[in-house]
Structure 1
Amino acid sequence: MVTHVRAEAHGDERGALLSFLAEQRGGIRRALLGLTNEQASGRPSASELSLAGLLKHVAEVEQGWVARAKGEPPAVKRDESNWHECFVLADGETVEQQLAYWEKVADETEAFIRAVPSLDDTFPLPNDPWFPPDESVSLRWLVLHLIRETARHAGHADIIRESLDGKTAFELVGLARS
């Protein structure tokens, strides 16, 4: 399982932002260390969230936002009828497959952000009722949003993992290094 921070902060804004994003991805990856698909799919709290579901969700969300920024549709179209499916493994999906997919998405995100002419470039927000109509956001906003989204779910992952077997984020950092 890859848990290292890929993006190096070389004193530039892009590198710094990508490093923060990679760090938050690592928190979710570490929360899955040593778990079976069944354990990762467990819901040990009152929440419907599982580690496997969080993994699938953050990978889909990241891919979808970067696709929108490129002017492309997300790989998976979600609406009210299938929104719940982005939080569970389905149809033979595994944690290993989702981790590999997320790694690919992360590589594409990093390549895209490093290649754009400016983080001030903009793209339109989706035409969804929870976004203001006819609004655009910058690529800087995109990376900050991905950091926020991933960090929020990394915190959820910490709680779920600790509820499953008592392992804390600090213990998991040690395990990832060994």
Structure 2
Amino acid sequence: MAQLSTEVAGDERGTLLAFVEAQRTAIRETLLGMSEEQAASRSSASELTLSGVLKHVAEVELNWLRLAQQRPNERQRTQETWGEMFRLVEGESIPDVLAFWDGIRQETEAFIAAVPSLDDSFPLPPAPWFPKDTKVSMRWMLLHLVEEFARHAGHADIVRESIDGTKAMG
């Protein structure tokens, strides 16, 4: 896992990025000491696995980054491939997904550092869950990533504790 600076910029960008990173770290830490098989195991009625959560959040961050950049997502999922976002497929490993996510993290941080203002906005794609013709700010995107990652960090905590009793806190 990548070592990150412990120094946090005191401005809004640095603070928001620090909160995003804290939630990324919470997810990554649920995988510590797990084998590929353990991380792919289902420990409840849910379909969620630790490796599936990892892959999902990495692809979610990529998707939001590409939306903000207003660029095509090279890993855009279709209805047929949607389920592959939640599990490792042939040839994928946890180290591969961690490296992919680290690259996305670096790209997100560089992009946010370069935008003129966190008030800059981008359009949301057409979807039943988004209001029509809505734009959101870069600030909104970062807060959404905190929300998304925190939700899945909680899922990952439960999955990990169900597998081997390891608790994220305590």
TM-score range, shorter chain: over 0.9
Aligned-pair CA distance for 1:8: 3.7
Matched, 1:72 2:71: yes
The CA deviation string for residues 63-111 of structure 1, in whole angstroms up to 9 with x for no partner, is: 1101111110112111322211100000210001000000000011111
Matched, 1:106 2:98: no
Instruction: Give the equivalent residue in structure 1 for 2:131.
Output: 132
Instruction: Give the equivalent residue in structure 2 for 1:30.
Output: 29
Instruction: Give the equivalent residue in structure 1 for 2:157.
Output: 158
Give, as a single letter, the amino acid of the residue that structure 1 aligns with 2:53: L
Give, as a single letter, the amino acid of the residue that structure 2 aligns with 1:114: A
TM-score when normalising by structure 1:
0.91
Q: Distance in 2 between matches of 1:136 and 1:78?
A: 22
- The 3 A distance-change label for structure 1 pair 79 and 132 is farther
- The 3 A distance-change label for structure 1 pair 6 and 84 is farther
Q: Is the 8 A contact 1:161 1:167 kept in 2?
A: yes
Once the two structures are superposed, the pairs formed by residues 140-155 of structure 1 within 5 Å of their partners are 140-155=139-154
Q: Is the 8 A contact 1:63 1:74 kept in 2?
A: yes
Q: Distance in 2 between matches of 1:128 and 1:7?
A: 38
Q: Is the 8 A contact 1:6 1:19 kept in 2?
A: no
Q: Distance in 2 between matches of 1:160 and 1:73?
A: 33
Once the two structures are superposed, the pairs formed by residues 6-17 of structure 1 within 5 Å of their partners are 6=5, 8-17=7-16
SS at match of 1:123: strand
Aligned identity (percent) is: 55
Structure 1 stretches (4+) deviating beyond 2 angstroms?
4-10
Q: Is the 8 A contact 1:32 1:51 kept in 2?
A: yes
Q: Which moved more, 1:8-17 or 1:51-60?
A: 8-17
SS at match of 2:169: helix
Q: Is the 8 A contact 1:7 1:15 kept in 2?
A: no
Q: Distance in 1 between matches of 2:45 and 2:52?
A: 15
Q: Distance in 2 between matches of 1:48 and 1:106?
A: 26
Instruction: Give the equivalent residue in structure 1 for 2:94.
Output: 95
The CA deviation string for residues 8-40 of structure 1, in whole angstroms up to 9 with x for no partner, is: 432200000000000000011100001111110
What runs of 5+ residues in structure 1 fail to find an aligned partner?
A: 172-178
Give, as a single letter, the amino acid of the residue that structure 1 aligns with 2:148: E
Q: Give the paired residue count.
A: 170
Q: Distance in 1 between matches of 2:68 and 2:6?
A: 20
RMSD over aligned CA atoms reads 1.3
Give, as a single letter, the amino acid of the residue that structure 1 aligns with 2:56: H
TM-score when normalising by structure 2:
0.95
- The 3 A distance-change label for structure 1 pair 130 and 114 is same
Greater relative CO, 1 or 2 (CA 8 Å, sep 6+): 2
